[in-house]
Structure 1
Amino acid sequence: MTVVQRPWWKDGVVYQIYPASFKDSNGDGIGDLNGIISELDYIRSIGVDVIWICPMYDSPQVDMGYDIRDYEDVYAPYGTVQDMERLINETHDRGMRIILDLVVNHTSDQHKWFQESRSSKDNPKRDWYIWRPARTVNGERKPPNNWVSNFTGSVWQWDELTQEYYLHLFCPEQPDLNWENPETRQAIYKSAMEFWLERGVDGFRVDTVNMYSKGEMLDAPVTDPGSEWQPAGLQYCNGPRMAEFLAEMNAVLEKYDAMTVGECPNTPDMKRVLQYVSAKERQLNMVFQFDVVDVGQGPYKFQTTPKNYTLPHFKRAIARTQDLIRPPSDGWTTVFLENHDQSRSITRFTSDAPEHRVAGGKMLALMMAALSGTLFIYQGQELGMTNFPESWDMSEYKDVDSSNYYKMVAQRTNNDPTALAAAHKSLQHLARDHSRVPMSWSTGPHNGFSPPDAKAEPWMRPLEDANVCNAKQQKTNEKSVLAFWKHMLQVRKEYSDLLVHGQYDDLDVEHPDLFVFSKTWKGKKAVTICNFTDKAQALEFPRQVRDEKRELLVSSVDQPGDGELAAFEGRIYLLA
């Protein structure tokens, strides 16, 4: 019997690094590549197989490096191309792989391609970006359509020199590339992909992967009557040529056995998602579906009341992503609760109260380790880092998304204090800034993020709770969140058939407090039970497994009780 070799990325655990906030080696207040290299042994010790580096390319940093000026160079405060080559080699030397962020829906407006494109209407690179003439409405100049950008305002920017608008789905400084132009696509593959694949990179997390084909760019329906600009994600995502573009991109990647994980927003149709991740279709290896991390969000991400969801909502979202691998599917899926665009999972989904944060962090680690697909951890998640406190004012929010939202509320409500307080509260719950504070390495100056004699303050304010949550202390504490993550990743590897590849079934979707799901693989079965409340709950198994013989594999508390689950306790049982 031939044993089919599984692709390396299926059983992998990926650790995401946000370079500016990971570790500052030279005391300038900004994390850097040498800081990452200095902690590779720490990362490997967690049980990680792959590191993912957020954009480290040369950039004006309008959107924290997602506005790229040169794909073939490194942002100077992070280091050099030579430092990147050393990071790639040092990662490989430790038996790990490395993936980079691939940001090719747009560039910076300072990229040489765009500089040429905007220089004149007959420049050879004019058609490398998306230019359109103005519309005239009642004698007034208007943009070509009514789409709102992901960071508020119109997606169209007027260019005085050539008297046309260019498209930017994100900041005005992030003009969208024109994927309809084959010459542009070839330049992207060469500069953004092959340059780094030739240097040994093992794959990419592909930013905004489903936005390359924009379709007809018609007006979006009015769903926000208070604004001239309307949400249009369902229009500009998943356009008619996406399959063709991704197949072409995949042909480049396959030569290098490179993995891809695509960021796939605005895709409610799971059949469409399955096309992206189907092995037969050869487009992407897997995607990040946002069902789980979008739970409880309002029509606009921040227009929401904290904890504005029920546990059944959360469970249904998990089921949608887990079902991507349900037979007869030939697709693959991902498991994640945090990344650089999300706030901290303990704060969002359990409790960051001092008496619960460790329990919450461990339970979420157990739950994630028991879910099928490739597992992604974000820096600091393994320590149980939480959101920064509500006492921090708006000056601590550095992200363009947060500040734009707050300004929009101020503008729309004429600086109404109640509305601004609500905006601040929702940002304290959901803002991207919470994941971007410096890592807490120790209790020393700057939480060990910068050297003790650093000349500059960290670019973002470090958390105030390093005395109870830092890497140095957790490395030697067997009861820490870090120790539990290490243990769970070992358990996951030992039972990889069942936990990584097994079929997921929710056994009691409607239970308001407990999350109970089974995993099945060729006759083997496990059941995971998690108490999502801050009170002890009776240990009750759904009827499907009530009479089965159970053996406790792991609990997130030291001494699990016979008849009850502790607050925020999770367990995995093997069924005989």
Structure 2
Amino acid sequence: MQKAWWKESVVYQIYPRSFMDSNADGIGDIQGIISKLDYLKELGIDTIWLSPVYESPNDDNGYDISNYLSIMKEFGSMKDWEELLMEIHRRDMRLIMDLVVNHTSDEHEWFIQAKTSKENPYRDYYIWRDPKEDGSEPNNWASNFGGSAWEFNEETGDYYLHLFSKKQPDLNWENKKLREEIYTMMKWWLDKGIDGFRMDVINFISKVEGLPDGELKPGKQYASGSKYYRTGPFIHDYLQEMHRNVLSHYDVMTVGEMPGVTPEQAIDYTAEERNELNMVFQFEHVGLDNGPNGKWDLKPLNLHDLKKSLSRWQEALGDKGWNSLYFNNHDQPRALSRYADDGRYRIQSAKMLATLLHMMKGTPYVYQGEELGMTNVAFETITDYRDIETLRVYEELRNLGWTEEMIMMSIHAKSRDNARTPMQWSADENAGFTTGTPWINVNPNYQKINAENELNNPESVFYYYQKLIRLRKQNEIIVYGDYKLILEYHPEIYAYIRTYQDKRLLVICNFYENNPAFELPRDIHFMTKQLLASNYETEEQSDISRFTLQPYEARVYLLN
């Protein structure tokens, strides 16, 4: 397997609206990000992924783009963005931008033109279908945000497809002219000096011919059409064309967000000889606490399921592809509140989850605030929430007869706004995020959990993340070593071995607050051991053949 800078990177995701506000309007902005670059450098980050800052009416917080080549005024100007890129590069860090090309905003000039007439040159940039004979939608697909995936256009008397909000019409990738426009836009950004792209729902861009109906479940008005647009018939052709025309001419990193992707498909997307993408974001492990009725149907995480899922991806991609490693992002509730203890053992839990992930094979992603041990928020009323998906599901669940208490319990656990509350910089008003009124309320625990407190405490979650990042840079085994699960059926311990050349790495994580006994499998032999990391005071010389773990304890040993 070839070595590459993006395999050795640790990526930090910035959600700009919630990161840092420089002008007191309550919205994070580019100058705010610039003011915190030294903080990220101190953490040890070498690559920043910036969520969309493009011009947008903000129906889906910037993932509805109305102009790919300009910056949203709330965030600043192109001059501000150019300064950001310069300051990132000056600190020997890199910048990857969000590429959102499954859909645009309905306020994009292409769509404004396309909806005016069936003869318009931009018409075929989008996906249109005539109504059925009874005037109803062309098929029964549900939007990923609820309701129908079709919206009627009065001017032309037909429907356009939107797999997300009705203000996010899907682009027609079968149109070569559209693809060329997208490649030109990508080159424009790459020529400005960016270091790659995170590609939003990129496995949705190829749809099955005829757009057949999905399978309708009892009591549902709309069906999932996902098997007809996830990993569609021409997806590999499009990605290889994109690589040939654009990506192969630059030294860049690419990661494709791909809901529903399997490990076998991921190998096709990421195998080096196929010239498509470097890695994918898959969602299997972050859906393990979904009940039979989906995301809002809560169930506790089963540790065995997590072991099975993460190990499946580690082993399948092995030396054939490359993994992205994440628990948190702008679309996921805080992993600390989902999978561990955000109360009594918050600090130990945060460090344990970080250990589990950062010692695996792949490129780790840190989502803003994760390195502080930030938690989910529980706003009292629905009026405090801003996320389009959360607001829609609130109405849907009410219509299904759920009680207010049941609905809010699910929203507290799963809303995307859990990740979008402002970054907690200090114990000052509004967590030091803004001197104005924040666009979304700050998590009330900011007085305890904030960057200033973390930086003043040598035992903090921040410095533990800093240590894990430093270890990855110092030890090739952490980047390139093979992975093997041990103690597969232990109900409380997640442990694995990494192997590289003549070295082995032993990672042990207690997922609960009990005190289970760890027993080293008899086939693991070593001459010397070195304790690389632990989230409790641990004697370097203590025997590791058998010992009792403390609540949420994590240890990493280098074995020779």
For residues 444-476 of structure 1, the C-alpha deviation after alignment (integer angstroms, 9 at most, x for no partner) is 0111001xxx3x310011111122211011112
Contact map agreement 1:324 1:332 (CA 8 A) in 2:
no
> Residue by residue, what CA displacement relative to the aligned partner does 1:262-288 show, whole Å, maximum 9, x if unpaired?
0011123x2211100010100101001
Contact 2:506 2:557 in 1 (8 A): yes
Of the candidates 136, 146, 149, which is equivalent to residue 152 of structure 1? 146
Matched-pair contact (CA < 8 Å) for 1:291–1:321: no
Q: In the alignment, which residue of structure 2 is the partner of 1:133?
A: 130
Choose the corresponding residue for 1:396, options 384, 400, 418.
Answer: 384
Q: Distance in 1 between matches of 2:2 and 2:484?
A: 26
CA distances 1:220-267 after superposition (whole Å, capped 9, x unpaired): 112x31112011222211011001100111120121212110001112
- Distance in 2 between the 1:325 and 1:103 partners? 26
Q: 2:69 — aligned with what?
A: 72
Residue number in structure 1 paired with 2:322? 332
| Aligned CA distance change for structure 1 residues 548 and 293 (closer, same or farther; 3 Å) | farther
- What residue in structure 2 maps to residue 23 of structure 1? 20
Provide Cα deviations, 1:375-433, integer angstroms capped at 9, x if missing partner: 110000000000013x62222221011111111111222xx42xx32222122111111
Corresponding residue to 2:104 among 78, 83, 107: 107
AA aligned to 2:218 is P
Offset from partner CA, 1:539-573 (integer Å, 9 cap, x none)? 32234437876442221112368632110011111
Provide the TM-score with structure 1 as the length reference: 0.93
Aligned to 1:405, which of 393, 397, 406? 393
- The amino acid across from 1:378 in the alignment is Y
Match of 1:305 in 2: 298
Quote the RMSD (CA, aligned, Å): 1.6
Runs of 5+ consecutive residues of structure 2 not aligned to the other structure: none
Superposition deviation, residue 436 in structure 1: 0.2
| 1:25-174 correspondence runs (5 A) | 25-136=22-133, 140-174=134-168
Q: Give the alignment partner of residue 440 of structure 2, picking from 460, 463, 475.
A: 460
Asked if 1 retains the 8 angstrom alpha-carbon contact of 2:260 and 2:284, the reply is no
Q: Are the aligned partners of 1:324 and 1:333 in contact in 2 as well (CA < 8 Å)?
A: no
Partner of 2:359: 370
In structure 2, what residue type is equivalent to 1:275?
A: D
2:254 and 2:277 in contact (8 A); partners too: yes
- The aligned residue for residue 450 of structure 2 is 470
The question of whether the paired residues in 1 share the 8 Å contact of 2:106 and 2:169 is answered with yes
**Residue 141 of structure 1: how far off its partner (Å):** 1.4
Shift of the alpha carbon at 1:5? 6.8
Tell me the alpha carbon deviations over residues 347-383 of structure 1, each in whole angstroms, 9 at most, x when there is no partner. Answer: 0111111x21000011111112211111110000000
Q: TM-score, normalised by structure 2?
A: 0.96
Amino acid at match of 2:385: Y
Aligned partners of 1:117 and 1:129 also within 8 Å: yes
In the alignment, is residue 315 of structure 1 matched against residue 304 of structure 2?
no
Task: Give the aligned partner of residue 372 of structure 2.
Answer: 383
| Structure 2 SS opposite 1:41 | helix
CA distance in structure 1 between the aligned counterparts of 2:360 and 2:380, rounded to whole angstroms: 35
**After the TM superposition, which residues 109-258 of structure 1 pair with which residues of structure 2 at under 5 Å, given as runs?**
109-136=106-133, 140-191=134-185, 193-216=186-209, 217-222=211-216, 224-251=217-244, 252-258=246-252
- Distance of aligned partners of 1:483 and 1:99 in 2 relative to their CA distance in 1, 3 Å threshold: same
Residues 300 and 160 (structure 1), Cα distance of their counterparts in 2 relative to 1, 3 Å cut: farther
8 Å CA contact retained: 1:234, 1:266: no
Residue 255 of structure 2 is aligned to residue 261 of structure 1: yes
Q: Aligned residues: percent identity? A: 40
**Contact 2:330–2:416 at 8 Å: present in 1 too?**
yes
Distance 1:122 1:569 in 2: 65
Which of 410, 415, 421 lines up with 1:431 in the alignment?
Answer: 415
SS in 2 for 1:67: coil
Which of the numbers 326, 342, 356 marks the counterpart of 2:345? 356
Q: How many Å separate the matches in 2 of 1:360 and 1:550?
A: 25
Q: Which residue of 2 aligns with 1:566?
A: 550
Alignment partners' CA distance in 1, 2:90 and 2:315 = 36
Distance in 2, matches of 1:301 and 1:462, equals: 28
Native 8 Å contact 1:302 1:423 kept in 2 = no
Structure 2 distance, partners of 1:91, 1:299, is: 44
Counterparts of 1:442 and 1:212, CA distance in 2: 42
1:234–1:267 CA contact under 8 A, matched in 2: no
The aligned residue for residue 528 of structure 1 is: 507
Could you give the per-residue CA deviations for residues 161-196 of structure 1, whole angstroms, max 9, x where no partner exists? 1000000000000000000000001111112x1221
Equivalent-residue separation in structure 2 for 1:535 and 1:431 (angstroms): 29
Q: Distance in 2 between matches of 1:544 and 1:233?
A: 45
Amino acid at match of 1:426: S
**Cα deviations by residue, 1:315-364 (Å, 9 ceiling, x for unpaired):** 1111122124324x2x11111110000000110111111x2100001111
| Number of residue pairs aligned between Structure 1 and Structure 2 | 553
Alpha-carbon distance in 2 for matches of 1:459, 1:298: 32
Deviation sequence 1:57-98 (CA, Å, 0-9, x none)? 000000000000000011101001111111111100000000
> Do the aligned residues in 2 keep the contact of 1:103 with 1:207 (CA within 8 Å)?
yes
Gaps of at least 5 residues in structure 1 are none
| CA–CA distance in structure 2, aligned partners of residues 288 and 315 of structure 1 | 18
Shift of 1:299: 4.6
Asked if 1:509 is matched to 2:468, the reply is: no
2:427 corresponds to: 443
| 1:480 corresponds to | 460
